[in-house]
Amino acid sequence: MNEREFGNNQPLSIGLFSPAWPPAGRANGVLSYVDTLSRSLESLGHRVTILCSNVSDGDRDPRVFRLASVSRRGPARRLSDWAWYRWAPQIWKECRFDPEIGRAVARSVQERGIQVIEMEESFGWAEMVRQWSRIPVSVRLHGPWFMNGTALGVPNNRVYRKRVALEGEAIRRAVGVTAPSYDVLERTRTYYGLGLDQARVIPNPTPHVPPRNRWRSEDRDPGRIVFIGRFDRHKGGDLIVEAFARILRTFPEARLDFAGPDHNVIDDEGKRWDLTSFVDARIPGAREDGRVRLLGRVPYEDLPALRRQASVTVVCSRYETFGLTVSEAAVMGCPIVAARVGGISEILRDGVDGLLHQPGNAVDLADRILELLSDPGRAAELGASAAAHCEREFDPIAIATRLAEHYQQLLNPMVRTGSVVRSAT
């Protein structure tokens, strides 16, 4: 069937890039997004192929097309790689697109009949995928490096600038662009000086949670706070520890569960801290007496139980393009304190669905957590409002429908050649 024959109701064959597979046991926002979106698209009658290099041994998901292959490097390729490595080894290591992946993508298009591909902007690889696949590629703004790299505190060196430039070029040349929040879209437009008139804002889908599996006040552990995220500057792992130290002065019965891997934090004086040392320095004895539990990396399927047990769920990232950690807690009806940053404020309405704190401010974070700990009734009301709001705004089928319409538009030859310009919606 020719692409011109496709109407808005025709099923599509869609390729979704994923950073890893399968989703079970992994806590990764992009992976969760791909998992939820793929199942929702399939329920609408579309065919989905998961394009992935990092596939666990033993995975038998028939939808997965493995991109990893044995590299076949001829003399010209070896010379090119050597030149790149000699000129800028870190850029070569971090940003280089392996032509073997390109060949695998082209093979997947031929074998699976893929008509359109969606992938994140990382390293600017979307442009290379477009060249190899020769079909429309829609770039999803999951986390441009000019924002996420800055939030992580990475140095503004040649590797950083090269990656940012590659991503900007891929975004500029993309046939289609979608963003999970207005904030990330507007920041991308401003930073790169791009109009992106064809871009659409479509939030990330959040799976439904049955009422019986949601947070209930009678099941909570009074005074328990849960933080789910990495110990790094981006996710604000240092901020929750600083805030908790202040909370204990007013609420000594409080407890903190820290669920996430330790990626270390560099403080304002340039000192690198691991999580254990940071907690011991800020709250001596807290690990030993149980006031702070360092749970490490917790399987994704075990996170709801932690949220149900907590009196307050905290998300204090320095930036989020959307904030799946927020929406996943909100749809459970959890009382939430989150940073007023990025897409988070497009999920939670301050004082209606949760409380928002000043980003990067541990004092304000502590104050807002104490508000909910001291008023369980209000906390429960905010959580119930958050669940209802998320059910309405982030329904997986509704969002998959909007994305499918976007993909359909990209198959219009006039859109692909730039003859049709759409406004952001």
Domains and CATH numbers, the chain: 3-205+395-416 (3.40.50.2000), 211-393 (3.40.50.2000)
DSSP state of 210: -
Mean pLDDT over 336-344 rounds to 97
| pLDDT at position 94 | 59
Task: Return the DSSP state at 180.
Answer: S
Check residue 8 and give its pLDDT. Answer: 56
**314-330 pLDDT, tens digit each:** 999 999 999 999 999 99
Query: What pLDDT is stored for residue 268 in this prediction?
Result: 83
Q: What is the mean pLDDT of residues 21-47?
A: 92
User: Does residue 420 register a pLDDT over 80?
Assistant: no
Q: What is the pLDDT of residue 100?
A: 86
C-alpha atoms less than 13 angstroms from C-alpha of 72 in its C-beta half-sphere: 4
Burial class of 93 by CB neighbour count within 10 A (0 to 12, 13 to 18, 19+): exposed
pLDDT class of 9 with cuts at 50, 70, 90: low
pLDDT in tens, 240-293: 999 999 999 999 999 999 999 999 998 888 899 999 999 999 999 999 999 999
pLDDT-based confidence at residue 95 (cuts at 50, 70, 90):
low
pTM for this entry: 0.87
Mean pLDDT, rounded, for 288-299:
96
27-36, 357-366, 414-423, range with greatest mean pLDDT: 357-366
Q: Which two tokens stand for residue 329?
A: 């807690």
Using the predicted structure, report yes or no on whether residue 180 has a pLDDT greater than 90: yes
Asked if pLDDT for residue 133 goes beyond 90, the answer is: yes
Q: What is the mean pLDDT of the chain?
A: 89
What percent of the chain lies above the pLDDT cut of 90?
78
Categorize the per-residue pLDDT at 99 as very low, low, confident or very high, splitting at 50, 70 and 90. Answer: confident
The two structure tokens encoding residue 346: 């497009």
Name the pLDDT band for 418 (thresholds 50, 70, 90). very low
The pLDDT assigned to 152 comes to 86
What pLDDT is recorded for position 300? Answer: 86
CA–CA gap between residue 213 and residue 226 (Å, rounded): 18
pLDDT at 267: 86
Instruction: Band the pLDDT of 159: cuts 50, 70, 90.
Output: confident
Q: Which residues pair with 133 in a beta bridge?
A: none
What mean pLDDT is predicted for residues 99-127?
Answer: 94
- CB 411, CB 6: distance < 8 Å: yes
Q: Are strands 336-339 and 355-357 parallel, antiparallel or unpaired?
A: parallel
Half-sphere exposure (Cβ direction) of 102: Cα atoms closer than 13 Å: 14
Considering only the C-alpha atoms of the chain, give the largest distance between any 2 of them, rounded to a whole number of Å. Answer: 70
Percent of the chain past pLDDT 70, that is, above it, reads 88
Q: What is the mean pLDDT of residues 141-170?
A: 92
Q: State the pLDDT at residue 153.
A: 85
* Banded model confidence at residue 27, pLDDT cuts 50, 70, 90: confident
The CA distance from 410 to 84, in Å, is 34
Q: pLDDT (tens digit, 9 = 90+) per residue, 186-207? A: 999 999 999 999 899 999 999 9
Q: Is the pLDDT of residue 33 over 50?
A: yes
Listed residue (327, 404, 313, 329) closest to 13, CA to CA: 404
Structure tokens of 180? 């999970």
